[in-house]
Structure 1
């Protein structure tokens, strides 16, 4: 396999110069269409999209609602995580948006998408993006359960 700096590699196989198209922490509802449009690229043969939604249970308990809080550095950290993913894969376009504030069961909490020349790269890059976001970006979840109890997830 030729390396990506070789002159015999089609430009469509190389990563884009500025692949980060949409990076945001928002207190308004998220849009799948907006994220999908942001990663459109004619040279991308694969686009992977992950959607995280508020589910109605966790750890054997019924969840009524939850709230997300973010440190003021969260968007900067999200950008750092996205830049690292873009550096490790031939990313044509990347988008990552996380919701903060009060959410109900079924609401979209996070949407990430990556387009790459090939599907395997897109799947791998998207999985790394969501996994690193969950582990490295300072966003915390406050769950409220049907039995009146509550818990913080991700808070140090």
Structure 2
């Protein structure tokens, strides 16, 4: 199936989904585990903020999203430097193309964990920085996507 950039179907910001399988079935974020959906050749069509990386920051104005890799899956701690993998390069490509990236976020909804569609964002910048654990991480700065007029 072709990668779709922008909104999918009738889903809009504020919609909730029970789990990662529901996101995948809806076509909003196809991978059921990976936080970045995309390729280095096409760009990223969606990302999930799931409280997995300690360097992620979500505010009203922007998102600082930590790239993929270097994290111990058992402890959740960053244990090695990140590298520019295909997934991280997908976000680099998104900055180059200016295509929108769907953002989904893990939240508490009606006393359980769910995923909320936050809307479309653009990758405004990225840099390689020393993260909170002292390891190198790719930090992507995303800002709300404004439709061209």
What is the TM-score with the length of structure 1 in the denominator? Answer: 0.27
TM-score by length of 2: 0.27
Structure with bigger gyration radius: 1
More helix by share: 1
